[in-house]
Structure 1
C-alpha cells in the first residue's frame, strides 16, 4: 500500500477488499493515524450501514461494482447518517423552543421530595397533582386582599408539611410565593410562581390557580400560611 492510497483504504479495509499485503500495511498505518481509526469506527457494521441508502440497482449489477464504488457507497451512507442526526437535534431544539414560548408548563411536579408544582385548572382533561390533592382534601379557607380568594389543603409528612393552594382573583404580571410562618416567626418559602398578565380567577381568565409545595417545618409548629408577592404585598392568609 502506498502513501497515495493509505488514507482512502479505510472503507476497503472495513469491507475486506484489501489483499493480505495491503491489509497488513494498512493495519500498521492505522495504529498511528487517529483520523483513519475514527473513520473505521464510523464504518463498522458494514451490513447495517448499507441499509437505507437507496436501490442498489443504481450502482449496476454486482460484477460491475468496483472497490471504489462500494467504498463510495459506504461514505455516502455515513454522510446521510450525519445529516439525519443533525436534523434530529434541530427538531428537538425547535420542539423545546415551542414549549417554552407557549408557556405550557410552569414549575415542576411535587412528590415526597417537596419540589413545587403550578398548574392552571382546565389546561388538561385530567386533574394535575396540585388540583387533585386539593379536590381530595378538606380546604381551609383563607382571608384575602381585595378580590383575592383561596384556601389550602394541608397534610403532615415525614419530612414536614405539604400544602395545596387554590387561588383566584389575582391579576398579573406578578411573582408570588406560598410561605409557611412558624409559631416562632420563622418564614419558609414553600413554592413560587409567576402570574401572567391575564391572571387567575378573574374576568377573561376564570380558571383559578392550583399549586402545591412543602415546608420542612412540621404542621404542629406552623402558625399560618401566606401568599405574598415579590414586592411584599400579602394576597392571602390561611390560619391553621
Structure 2
C-alpha cells in the first residue's frame, strides 16, 4: 500500500467511498480481514455511500430546485429574512451539480479524521483486545551431576495450562521430556522433543491441569533420568 502498516486503518474512509486505487483496495481488503478495529468502524460507516446516493446529484430533496410531481413548487427551505442561509444552500446545490465527486472527497476526508481520532482514543476507551493471561515463571533446579538451565513459564488458559520451556546446556542427543506431577501425585507428559547439537531448546507444551493443580515439573531424558525439577 502507499502508507505504513500502522496507518492502514486511516484508509477506511477512502475504502468505503471507493476512492482507493485497485492496488490499495486489494491490500486494504487483506488488512481488513485481521483488523478488528477497522471491522468495527466499517460497520458504523458502511451506510455512508447510501446516504450520499440518497442526497442525489442535485443536492438532495432539501436542496433541489426541481418542481415536485404535479407541478407543485418545491418546499420553502428558509424564511425570507434568512438570506445568508438561502445563499449558502444555493451555492452548495450549484457545486453538487457541477462536481458530485467533490462532496465524496470531503466525506472521505471527514471519515479519515474520525478514524484517526478513534485510533488515538480507541485503545484506551474501546479496546476489545483480550487481557494478557496470568503467567507464572519457575526456574528448575538442576539435578545432581547435571548443569542444565531451564526456565518454564506457566500460562493460564481456558483449557488448562500452557508451558513455555527455555532450556540451555542440555544433552546434545536423545529425547527430552517435560513431566507434570499433579497435586494428587499423578504424572503426565506435557512435552517431548529431540535434543539439539547446541544444547539449546525452546519448546511449548500443554497440560489439562490448571496452574494451582500442578505440584511440580520434571525434565527427564528418554531413559527416565531426571535433569531438573521445579516446584510450583
Q: TM-score, normalised by structure 1?
A: 0.38
